[in-house]
A and B are shown apart, each in its own frame.
Chain A
Amino acid sequence: MKRLKIAFYTAGGCGGCDMSVIDMSESFLNFTEKFEIVFWTPMITDLKYRDIEKIPSDYIDFGFFSGNLNTKEHEKIAKLMRDKCRKLITLGICASEGGIRGLANLHTPEQLIKTAYIETISNDSSDKITPKTGLPSIKKVKTLNQVVNVDYFIGGCPPHHEHMKRVFHLILKDELPPSGSWITDGKSVCELCDKNSMLKGKPREALKEIKRLYEGTPESDRCLLEQGYLCLGPLTLGDCGCRCPSVNIPCAGCGGAVSGVSDFGLRAISMIAGIVEREELIQKIPAPVFLFYRYTLASFLNKLGGRK
């Protein structure tokens, strides 16, 4: 049986999504019998850009693109991938919505560079120079679908390797959802959480206080959100199997938004503001932009972009 051809590229990402595929461990070896990895750049294979450029159009069946885009080089490779892959899939929340590194868009590239190369305390900044020559200039973070058409989205920071197994199974069985969809089981983190009060037949309570991560000790069988920890489980896709609340840490939303939500942060605002007991708690939330837009700031600012 002819093997399906796949390829991977990491743009402005941390490599975690690529590692998630390797983390499938034995299943990874099983999949290499059914898939032909045309290239995996720059992490695993030795193909260089000049080799990639020679690949014919639509040669690769499924291309996985991880990491956000913040240089012209990233955009160039994104367009190459779009040309050479029949289907292009974002691998992880960075490529899908900008990711944590999208928080850079709260600052200008000049500010980011000045802090790193001149202002840090151990810097020998006697010449006050910043890196420039022969280097691609740093731009605002973009998501993949701001540059090329994307066929499927996979969220997660990184997606759990069990979820990656499901993705590859769906590809092999030709059971992917309609083009433009997120590849997901569709359940929210909240639905899978064993602390969920609704699943225990109890009504949800209003938020009487807002707690920072280290404040107090959560009761281990009670909903974290109700106890005042800002858990975003209700609106986050649970393909991870609800990892974080199961270790008493509130969900931060890395899986992407459940269906029907056009912007993760805005729905998070709606949810939290809709269940607090009194308005003064709203002012008590520390760093709301960071908390609600941890993974999706780039795509939000892009929406606002025309207006700013």
Chain B
Amino acid sequence: MRKIEINPLTRIEGHGRISIFLDKEGDVENAFLQTVEFVGYERILRGVPIEEVPRLVSTICGVCRGVHFIASLKASDEVFSVKPSVAVRKIREIFYNAHIVEDHTAVLYAFGFPDFICGLYSSPSERNLIGVFKKIGTEFGREILKKRAGALRIFEILGGRPSHPVTALPGGWSKPVKEEERKEIIKIADELIELGKLTLKIFEDYILKNKEYEEFFRSDVYRVVLNYLGGVDENDKIAFYDGTYKFIDTKGNEIGRFKGREYLEYIAEKTLPWSYTKAPYLKKHGWKGFIDGEATGLYSVGPLARFNVGKGYNTALAQEAYEKMVDFYGGKPVHNILAYHWARAIELVNAAENIKILSSDESITERNLRQEINKVAGEGIGIVEAPRGTLIHHYRTDEKGIIQDANLIVATTQNKGAINIAVKRVAQNFIKKGRVDERILNMIEIAYRAYDLCFACATHEINNKIPFQIDIYSNEGELIKSFENYA
């Protein structure tokens, strides 16, 4: 048995590797993706005052630099039994949408587009953000970065800094918005809508109009059939800051909805011996392993999941782009995973349009944004739709609001099953008779980049023919010896 390794995974956030095992004919027996890093936030959080948590958990990820902040902030509202005022909620939403714009922009141009715009046959040294700008023209590159800087400016005005924001207060926000700042935000919002339109156009010109790429977007190779989870508002339109969280099955029928603590009725997480990322699954379906199709217990989250779950977007341009995408695929749910990038671009437009709508409301310059804290309920759950998918923060505190217990279900974790299936399927399709080259390995990496990883993940199952590795550890957890049945 032969082992091929892709190490490290690139154009993601975090550390992972892919191990591919070939049988004696040189075809892929199995492939798995491992996250090789771990921090331990759920334990680190014990003993921390809840109001300090948003700023702390933001450092889980510096790419999705606003999501843990908002999710834990919402949880802290519940811990202290305070409800944010209308103005505070709008400010938080504008801030959050600005983050979605800059995050999706960075991910599309730095992580996702290089494979297609630089080309599947390009060399690794060209296949990156700078290569993309060379291809589309540096004037466009400048414009894109300049407009994204506008989103960062909104983020900084409202969040205090361009990354790892600080203005969180339970039930409130620490800094009021000045009228000149509100006007500046509206101006920037127009630029961001242009950024969204430009991104959709680039997507269309360089990807959809390219026959080879169009086939990939429709192919059965880059296709994983799972259940989906996404947040929707009262009209069943996709909602990011707050909503009801809806599960649909592989055919698009609703399985159920939850808010707050009800998530525990739907989601369980399985620890796997081969990766630092767990594998969440639908409790009612049960753990069935890494299979897709109708019987699967797995589900995925993120832009494509939201596209499948919701009945469209709550803004005009995004809704128009949504209808085009539905048309292209001839209906929903769409299981072709490369479509994640398309849905990502549409969400960019949606977030930009929402910034314009929300900041047009003069009442967001309200001076009094704080609430008096009198009660400590001791438990709080904050759920948001992060750029990468549904994110759940669940805290229990003592009577002083000091964290006793934390549970974080990170978006990418919920895609673990999907990513693993995708990587294996693509590897099996491209690697035949032992023929492997750098380009083929990148085709496999394209599979996980669709999911825009903040942590990679992997799985492994032990049966008779599969490659296995026996590791012997000392009492202190040090690896003493390793036996493998592969080369």
Contact = CB atoms under 8 A, between A and B. Distances in A.
Interface of A: 12-20, 22-23, 25-26, 28-29, 32, 37, 40-51, 70-71, 73, 99-101, 103-104, 106-107, 109-113, 115-125, 127, 129-138, 157-158, 160-161, 212-215, 217, 240, 243-244, 246-249, 252, 286-287, 290-291, 294
Contacts of A25: 145-146, 148-149, 152
Given A16-B65, A134-B19, A113 B145 contact: no
B476 to A, nearest CB: 9
Contacts of A124: 268-271, 287
B271 A46 contact: no
Given A19-B62, A22-B110, A25-B148, A12 B37 contact: yes
B268 A123 contact: yes
A14 B162 contact: no
Contacts of A252: 55, 166
Interface stretch (B38-46, B324-332, B350-358): B38-46
A134 B264 CA distance: 31
A43 B60 CA distance: 15
Nearest to A250: B166
Contacts of A41: 8, 10
A14 B59 contact: yes
B49 interface: yes
A218 B19 CA distance: 55
9 contacts: A16-B63, A20-B162, A42-B9, A44-B129, A50-B7, A100-B59, A112-B43, A113-B40, A294-B56
Contacts of B405: 121
B223 to A, nearest CB: 24
Interface stretch (B229-237, B273-281, B309-317, B418-426): B273-281
A15 B37 CA distance: 13
Contacts, number: 270
Given A121-B405, A215-B373, A286-B49, A244 B149 contact: no
A290 B127 CA distance: 42
Query: Closest 6 CB pairs between A and B?
Result: A16-B62, A112-B40, A46-B124, A247-B160, A14-B62, A25-B149
B42 A115 contact: yes
Contact of A115 (B40, B142, B267): B40
B34 A134 contact: yes
Given A113-B38, A130-B271, A214-B169, A244 B9 contact: no
Given A16-B164, A46-B127, 13 more contacts: A15-B13, A22-B129, A25-B149, A41-B10, A100-B59, A101-B44, A113-B38, A124-B268, A132-B471, A212-B49, A243-B161, A244-B160, A248-B174
Contacts of B36: 71, 73, 135-136
A121 B402 contact: no
B273 A29 contact: no
Nearest to A107: B43
A contacts with B: majority SS: loop
Given A20-B163, A133-B274, A158-B164, A47 B40 contact: no
Given A124-B270, A131-B274, A286-B402, A47 B145 contact: no
Contacts of B169: 213-214
Given A122-B269, A249-B174, A117 B142 contact: no
A69 B107 CA distance: 25
Contacts of B274: 131, 133-135
Contacts of A32: 130
A246 B106 CA distance: 27
A286 B400 contact: yes
Given A214-B170, A215-B373, A47 B62 contact: no
Given A29-B141, A116-B42, A17 B275 contact: no
A49 B51 contact: no
A136 B405 CA distance: 27
B186 interface: no
Contacts of A71: 36-37
Given A19-B62, A42-B10, A121 B394 contact: yes
Given A123-B271, A213-B169, A244-B166, A37 B152 contact: no
Contacts of A40: 128
Contact of A44 (B128, B161, B270, B273): B128
A37 B270 CA distance: 40
B462 to A, nearest CB: 10
Contacts of A110: 477
A246 B62 CA distance: 22
A132 B273 CA distance: 6
A23 B442 contact: no
A160 B166 CA distance: 14
B63 A15 contact: yes
B377 interface: no
Contacts of B394: 121-122
B295 interface: no
Given A28-B145, A116-B40, A134-B471, A23 B6 contact: no
Contacts of A160: 161-162
Contacts of B65: 16, 19
B409 interface: yes
A112 B59 contact: no
Given A109-B477, A215-B373, A244-B160, A287 B48 contact: yes
Residue among A101, A116, A158 facing the most chain B CB atoms (10 A cut-off): A116
Interface in B101-151: 106, 110, 124-125, 127-130, 133, 138, 141-142, 145-146, 148-149
A273 to B, nearest CB: 20
A46 B10 contact: yes
A81 B131 CA distance: 24
A23 B99 CA distance: 13
Contacts of B38: 70, 112-113, 116, 131, 138
A92 to B, nearest CB: 9
Contact of A107 (B44, B268, B373): B44
B52 A122 contact: no
B478 interface: yes
Nearest to B277: A131
Contact of A26 (B106, B142, B264): B142
B18 to A, nearest CB: 11
B195 to A, nearest CB: 12
A130 B287 CA distance: 17
Interface in B1-32: 6-15, 19
A122 B409 contact: yes
Nearest to B263: A122
Contact of A217 (B8, B9, B146, B370): B370
B269 A287 contact: no
Contact of A135 (B60, B127, B275, B287): B275
B63 A47 contact: no
